[in-house]
């Protein structure tokens, strides 16, 4: 059983400023521009990915590759495909799974307005069991 959630957002110049203040990432390509456009922080792009900011979600494992830069004014669509996972899939050294919680595997992709992939990744999330059951048994197969 799997489900897919998507989220679309336009990353504004002021979002880059807020992200810079919150993360401290003041890289020159974010603040002064790369060419004539400011590049969004990776953390800002990740803020669009569904599930990552949901309360009670603990990412035990997250790996991602930045495929192309995201610039101010770009509209990005992030898709997360979640699949039920066995406790045996927990990354080594990250502890037992409590009885009231469950693991799900995540496949993440982010594309820009042109449909060009800008980020891809995989992860293992530990979530409240009720959240996992609601997510994975969503009869619509997911949504935004």
Partner 1 sequence: MSSIAIKNAVHGDISVGTVLTWTKQYTDQEVRDYYELAGEPTESLPEHLPYVLTVAPLTKLGGDLDYLSQRMDWQATRPLGRNEEIVAELEVTRLEPTAGMTKIAFDARIRCGDEVVITGRSKGLIVSA
Instruction: Please report how many Cα atoms fall inside a 13 Å half-sphere around the Cα of residue 8, on the Cβ side.
Output: 7
Comparing C-alpha atoms, which of 39, 37, 38, 43 is closest to residue 19? 43
Q: For residue 14, give the H/E element and its range.
A: helix 13-23
CA distance 95 to 6: 29
Cβ closest to partner 1, residue 78 vs residue 111: 78
- Give me the 29-48 binding string for partner 1, x by CB under 8 A, dash otherwise: xx----------xxxx-xxx
Size of the site for partner 1 (CB under 8 A): 42
1 counts as binding partner 1 under rule CB under 8 A: no
Cβ closest to partner 1, residue 1 vs residue 26: 26
CA distance 12 to 71: 9
131 counts as binding partner 1 under rule CB under 8 A: no
Residue 55 C-beta: closest distance to partner 1, Å: 4
Q: Contact residues for partner 1 (CB under 8 A)?
A: 7, 9, 15, 18-30, 41-44, 46-48, 52-66, 91, 93-95
């Amino acid at each position: 059983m799997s489900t897919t959630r998507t989220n679309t957002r336009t990353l504004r110049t002021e979002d880059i400023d807020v992200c810079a203040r919150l993360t401290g990432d003041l890289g020159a390509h974010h603040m002064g521009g790369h060419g004539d456009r400011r590049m969004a922080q990776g953390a800002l792009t990740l803020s669009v990915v569904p599930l990552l900011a949901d309360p009670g979600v603990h990412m035990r494992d997250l790996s991602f590759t930045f495929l192309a830069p995201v610039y101010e004014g770009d509209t990005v669509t992030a898709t997360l495909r979640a699949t039920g996972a066995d406790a045996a899939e927990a990354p080594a050294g990250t502890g037992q799974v409590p009885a009231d919680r469950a693991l799900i595997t995540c496949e993440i992709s982010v594309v820009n307005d042109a449909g060009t992939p800008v980020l891809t990744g995989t992860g293992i999330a530990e979530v409240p069991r009720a959240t996992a059951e609601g997510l994975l048994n969503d009869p619509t197969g997911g949504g935004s």
